Amino acid sequence: MDSKFKDSTFFKYLAYSSLLVIVLASYPVYKYFSTVQINSIIAGYFISLLNAFIGFKLNTMAFSRSTKSFMVLVFGGMGIRLIIVILLLVLLIYFTSLDSLSLVGSVFFFYTLFISIEIYFLHRKQLQAKNHKTDPVLTEK
């Protein structure tokens, strides 16, 4: 039950940060951007959100593994996810009429925001595990 609470906290941070960005950017985006640009921003947001969900799942799995597996899942997963994001961007730019600058800018902005939240929760989970001495990464020899 405690793990579910922590999982929901991650998703709450994603929701709060998304809501904050929407509130702060809604007027300028509505006023100065075209419909195609707005659709591009929304598509970029969902690509980054999917990336964050997958990253959270991989990071959660990584904490129950050995040090080597932990590193492979966290850093390898981050690299593979970045490649998938780039492939999605190329496919969307090539096969749709989305605005490439708005799409790439949106993905970059939300990727940076969500990866910051992901790193914060990785660090927080590491500190909690260290304090409770339950981290297999720290106890492995």
Among the residue ranges 13-17, 117-121, 130-134, the one predicted with the least confidence is: 130-134
Query: Considering the entire predicted model, what is its pTM?
Result: 0.83
Q: What is the mean pLDDT of residues 117-134?
A: 81
Cβ-based neighbours of 40, under 8 Å, separated by 6 or more: 98, 99, 100, 102, 103, 106
pLDDT tens digit string along 88-107?
Answer: 999 999 999 999 999 999 99
pLDDT classification of 7: cutoffs 50, 70, 90 = low
Cα angle vertex 131, ends 125, 135, to 5°? 60
Residue 81 has pLDDT above 70, yes or no: yes
Closest to 55 in 3D by CA, of 78, 84, 72, 80: 78
pLDDT of amino acid 38: 96
Q: Say if residues 93 and 40 touch (Cβ distance below 8 Å).
A: no
pLDDT tens digit string along 14-45?
Answer: 999 999 999 999 999 999 999 999 999 999 99
pLDDT classification of 65: cutoffs 50, 70, 90 = confident
